Amino acid sequence: MPSSATTVVREVAKDVWIFSTPFKRFGVFPIGGRSTAVKLSSGDVWVLASTPLNDVTKGKLKELGPVRWIIGADAVHHLFLGKGERNPPWSSFSLLVADFKREYPDAKLIAVDEAIKKKTKEGLKFDGAWGADPSSTKYGFENDIQHCYFSGFQNKDVAFFHPASKSLIEADLLFNLPPTEQYSKSNGSISFPRVSRLLSPDGALGSRFSWWLATDKASMRRDATTVANWDFDRIIPCHGDVIEKVGKSAWKSAFKSFLD
């Protein structure tokens, strides 16, 4: 599990902080992990929670302000949202798994419906569910962050747009590998860098990746177009390096099959 020692904390734009950690999919393929926190105009903090809540992460969030929203961005990014009961003291995982809801019990917990179904045994109370709530539902942070639920994507992702910093925040819709920043404080190696680059937005598999994972092509076309019409420069992915300045062109490249 990523520790404070290997977590890279960085302010990528005013009031937008990222927490980058090493992570290998299936324990083999390095794709990195990242949580993102945004300090809203109200002073409250919105967090896309995708990495462990270690000491360095908690320390920075405490500096930013009260955490009021905890976000699960898709059907698979839910491990650290919360656990209804603590693991027994004899379990090795009791020292490894940190969760956001237990640390911030007053924060609203919002995720996609598929993730919520996976968390039912943990006894968590969710305050919103993309995919189950009406599409017009407002969760309280829309003055600062817009959202688009990709119902036609395999992982049921949600894309988020922070206009103040012109940043798009997302989980699995777009990878920007290799995960250089996420491994910059780790002794682990970024294996297969050439293969990783194939999944970058302009890589040979970039646009095919989104096409393969589309379960409803018409819905994907609608939602990819919605995001393409947002005025962003930067993309903050959960996997891989942040894309600065050319985020819009990267998005159009990765989703060209749905935008042409």
| 3-state DSSP percent of the chain in helix, strand and coil, to 5 | 30, 25, 50
* pLDDT for 196 beyond 90: no
- Average pLDDT score over the chain: 89
Q: Alpha-carbon distance 53 to 42, whole Å?
A: 23
> Coil, strand or helix: which one is 221?
helix
- pLDDT tier, 112 (very low <50, low <70, confident <90, very high otherwise): very high
- Phi and psi at residue 47, to the nearest 5°: -130, 125
Structural domains of the chain ordered from first start: 4-129+141-259 (3.60.15.10)
Angle between helix 247-254 and helix 217-228 axes, rounded to 10 deg: 170
Percent of the chain residues topping a pLDDT of 70? 85
Tokens of 97: 């798994």
- pLDDT tier, 94 (very low <50, low <70, confident <90, very high otherwise): very low
- Phi and psi at residue 165, to the nearest 5°: -110, 0
Other C-beta atoms closer than 10 Å to the C-beta of 37 total 22
Q: Alpha-carbon distance 143 to 228, whole Å?
A: 20
- In DSSP notation, 18-75 reads EEEE--EETTTEE--EEEEEEE-TTS-EEEE--S---HHHHHHHHHH--EEEEE--SS
pLDDT in tens, 222-232: 999 999 999 99
pLDDT winner (highest mean) among 91-100, 116-125, 242-251: 242-251
Tokens of 136: 């017009």
DSSP 8-state symbol, 233: S
